[in-house]
Chain A
Amino acid sequence: MMRFVAMLRDSLKEAVDGWIFLVMLGLSTLLIVLVASASVRPLPAASAVPDMLPHQAMQMVFADRGQASRAAMFMQSQSVENVATLEKGGTPWDCDIQFTLRFQRGFPGMPAGIEMEGGKDLKDVKRGDIKIVEGQAGLFADPIEDAARFWAASAGTSAKERPKFTEELASDFLAYQVAAASGLKVIKVVRKEKGVYEITARSESRLRWPHEPSLFFGSLKLPFARGPLGDILYNLESGLVSGLGAWVVMLAGVIVTAGFVPNMLRKGAIDLLLTKPMSRPLILVYKYLGGLTFVALLTTITTVGIWAAVGMRTNVWFPGLLVASVPIVFYFAILYAFSTLVGVLTRNSIVCIVATFLFWIAIFLIGTAHSVVSELDRVDMNLAGAAPPGGDGPPDLKPPGWAVTTTTVLNRITPRTRDLGTLTDRVIGSGLLSDGEQERQRKKTMNVDWPEVIGVSLGYLGAFLALAVLRFVTRSY
């Protein structure tokens, strides 16, 4: 243990000695200070409620009271009017809110709506699932009445067989639809006139309430980034930690640690280590762990710093961000194991850096290619069959079979760093995103075989280290 700690301390001293460490520390501090200067302002109910009810979310209706994957998109538009908080004082998300929802039909001549089958996500819709319903006398003659009937019916039920429209059905439908689109808990729905409803609702939580972020203690407002507080924090943390932060840590980590093994193996330096009472495998493994610990410390400091800054500025203390450093360090561990192997083989820092970056780019490209190709293969959204008469459908995007096979095989046999990135986002998102968004993220990684991902990555890490140790043990210095 004493020897391990000694090697660890030595590696940290070596890392701290270089100017790149100071740059990394500077960037890390800058990032934390930037986050600490950020603030969020809750939007007043009059601005917040229209934001919470986007057209697309209100237009998409799922059959079987929202439980079926059969969906229809209604071409109506809606406006939110007369928004008022029913209690004075207090934060808007703690008050009942009342507003009027007015529906209007889409432009005459436009398709009344699209009915489709498949998953609850447009990306899940497959070829042949889409039918376009034309004309004003078709399925969606009245945007709300037909939508409510479609929503209440079982999937696949014909228009004639669907339940008849009643005011109670409309209330149930709108209560569900508004809640699903906005995250508001609907308390009451009152029909005022045809297509006009008065809704009383309350926010689920502060995290779901729209806020406007700003930087530099409020001096730089960012209206384009407004949205639910949870989404803002997710975008901030995901962007800085698993996005920009991870890239900076990897980039600088690879450069800083690339010299560790070649420096250790320099003539006159290695002699001093090899004549200490330690086995050669231990020397190399301890050196590896020393570099890894350095990056782990830096990542943890940055992550905890950002987490603390976010917490202090917003009073949101979800621990997901703290756990996010684990996949990042694991990602780096694979790269550093490769760098260690190259270091033992070549004893050249520059070759280590270049080779590691090439390896990193290669696995990134494989992951990206696999993601793109499999996504195209899954969606395969060919609207040609559903195009209006005489219209041109979009081109067939289905990728060739060999591309699917090649990228799938390559992705399976190489470290799945892309999946690790997705996992990081999912960890950060838990507790910050809405249930729907979290479900969408979960579905995104549903098909990922985590034991296989971690197993293959660990296998590579172990193989790189084993080869490095083998060479180190058998070589004369």
Chain B
Amino acid sequence: MSVIETRLLRKDYGRIEALKGVSIRVEPGQIYGLLGQNGAGKTTLIKILLGIVRKSDGDASLLGEPAGRSQVLQRVGYLPEDHRFPDYHTGTSLMDFYGRLFGMPRSERRRAIPATLDLVGLGERANSRIRTFSKGMKQRLGIAQAIFHNPQVIFLDEPTDGVDPVGRREIRELMERLKSQGKTIFLNSHLLGEVEQVCDRVAILQRGVLAREGTVADLTRQTGHFVIGLDAGQNFPTDDISKLGYHVSAAGPHFEVALDEKQSIDPVLEFLQARGLKLRHLVEKKKSLEDVFVNMVDEGSAPRVARSLGSHS
């Protein structure tokens, strides 16, 4: 059973179409990244799944229940973007308040709250008023309140916003630890490098349409480009390779060989071996997620899905 599933999900705000038939599926134990420009519909999608926003059409389910059912929220954690905690609380009293709303027994709250605050690095400020917290500390508190009740699925909307580099690394490690515990994480972030590092699958929304969806490897693969390096002192036979019908260009100390759709890299490798040249570096070139995203935005590319949704089922 999928943890999250949407089918042809639509949301209209008057004349504005925020989501235009988005279909995604998130499996248990995945870290799923949602990318998109501002106004692409990312937060709307999350809010529909959590019942904060009403859908206009289509289907959305969370943990097997139709989105918006309050009972299912018992097993869900959420860190909203631009959260605003009641600043008359301390870290501990806020978590205690939310714990009561989740129906956590007193003993469980007493155990989980200090442990989680310690985990996010707020143990020493647990009893300080939230109004005295920095932005980064509030963000850590936001993560703590999203995970302390042991949810099955966690929605994190810009979790590293305002957090310093060390803190970001800690949050990434935390997400990986949660994943290893079998939690499903739905991550919405502008930091593409971050998404690339932790996410199993990524969806890119563009103007309310699902533009790309697939694994990070799928999205960043750049087919037909290989970077080759030889042993020190050996010269790369650029002219000979070109005569074989390949396009060769320098790539730093190495050389990049570009293939067309019908070509294979194997003839090049056989040629080098035949000439007694020693291969020391061979990498199929990849694009970064940022390249993919920026190119997609620049091109205003027609939406396409890297892998069909049918491949999941």
Contact = CB atoms under 8 A, between A and B. Distances in A.
Indicate, yes or no, whether A interacts with B: yes
Interface of A: 2-3, 5-7, 9-10, 13-14, 16-17, 263, 266-280, 474, 476-477
A475 to B, nearest CB: 8
A189 B134 CA distance: 86
Nearest to B69: A277
B209 interface: no
Interface string B80-93: 11111110110001
B74 A10 contact: no
A3 B103 contact: yes
A278 B70 CA distance: 6
Interface string B160-197: 00000000000000000000000000000000000000
* 3 cross-chain pairs, A with B, having the tightest CB-CB distances, nearest first: A6-B100, A268-B84, A17-B88
Given A13-B89, A14-B88, A269-B86, A6 B52 contact: no
Contacts of B147: none
A267 B84 contact: yes
Contact of B84 (A10, A266, A275): A266
A274 B50 contact: yes
B51 interface: yes
A275 B78 contact: yes
Nearest to B87: A17
A269 B84 contact: yes
A270 B84 CA distance: 9
Given A10-B89, A10-B97, A275-B78, 19 more contacts: A3-B101, A6-B100, A13-B88, A13-B89, A13-B93, A14-B86, A16-B88, A263-B86, A266-B84, A269-B83, A271-B47, A274-B50, A275-B76, A276-B70, A277-B70, A277-B74, A277-B102, A280-B70, A476-B54
A412 to B, nearest CB: 40
A278 B101 contact: yes
A271 B88 CA distance: 18
B53 interface: yes
A2 B105 CA distance: 9
Contacts of A9: 97
B71 interface: yes
B98 interface: yes
Contact of B52 (A13, A275, A278, A279): A275
26 contacts: A2-B100, A6-B97, A9-B97, A10-B97, A13-B88, A13-B89, A14-B88, A267-B84, A268-B81, A268-B82, A269-B85, A269-B86, A272-B78, A274-B50, A274-B51, A274-B52, A275-B50, A275-B76, A276-B70, A276-B102, A277-B72, A277-B102, A277-B103, A278-B70, A477-B47, A477-B53
Given A6-B101, A10-B86, A13-B88, A272 B80 contact: yes
A277 B76 CA distance: 9
B198 interface: no
A403 B64 CA distance: 64
B80 A271 contact: yes
Nearest to B84: A268
A326 to B, nearest CB: 29
A275 B93 CA distance: 18
Contacts of B103: 2-3, 277
B241 interface: no
B73 interface: yes
A263 B73 CA distance: 22
A196 B45 CA distance: 97
A292 to B, nearest CB: 19
Nearest to B129: A17
B165 to A, nearest CB: 25
A424 B110 CA distance: 45
B80 A277 contact: no
A274 B69 CA distance: 11
Nearest to A474: B54
B86 A3 contact: no
B223 to A, nearest CB: 41
User: For A5, A7, A269, A474, which residue has the most chain B Cβ atoms within 10 angstroms?
Assistant: A269
A277 B100 CA distance: 10
A6 B54 CA distance: 27
A272 B83 contact: yes
A280 to B, nearest CB: 8
A3 B78 CA distance: 19
B83 A271 contact: yes
A7 B96 CA distance: 11
Contact of B100 (A5, A17, A272): A5
A275 B82 CA distance: 15
A476 B52 CA distance: 6
B235 to A, nearest CB: 61
Contacts of A10: 86, 89, 97
A197 to B, nearest CB: 71
A263 B71 CA distance: 25
A14 to B, nearest CB: 6
A263 B85 CA distance: 10
A20 to B, nearest CB: 13
Residue of B81, B82, B97, B145 with most partner-chain A CB within 10 A: B97
Interface in B60-76: 70-74, 76
A269 B81 CA distance: 10
A273 B88 CA distance: 16
Contacts of B72: 277
Contacts of B76: 275
Contact of B78 (A266, A271, A279): A271
Nearest to A269: B84
Nearest to A6: B100
B302 to A, nearest CB: 30
Interface string B123-166: 00000000000000000000001000000000000000000000
Contacts of B47: 271, 476-477
Contacts of A16: 88
Contacts of B70: 276-280
A352 B35 CA distance: 39
B138 to A, nearest CB: 11
Contacts of B52: 270-271, 274-275, 476-477
A270 B74 CA distance: 17
A272 B50 CA distance: 10
Contacts of B100: 2-3, 5-6
Contacts of B73: 275-277
A6 B98 CA distance: 8
Contacts of B97: 6, 9-10
Contacts of A263: 86
A278 B102 CA distance: 8
A477 B46 CA distance: 12
Contact of B83 (A14, A17, A268): A268
Nearest to B104: A2
A13 B74 CA distance: 25
A271 B93 CA distance: 18
Contacts of A271: 47, 50, 52, 78, 80, 83
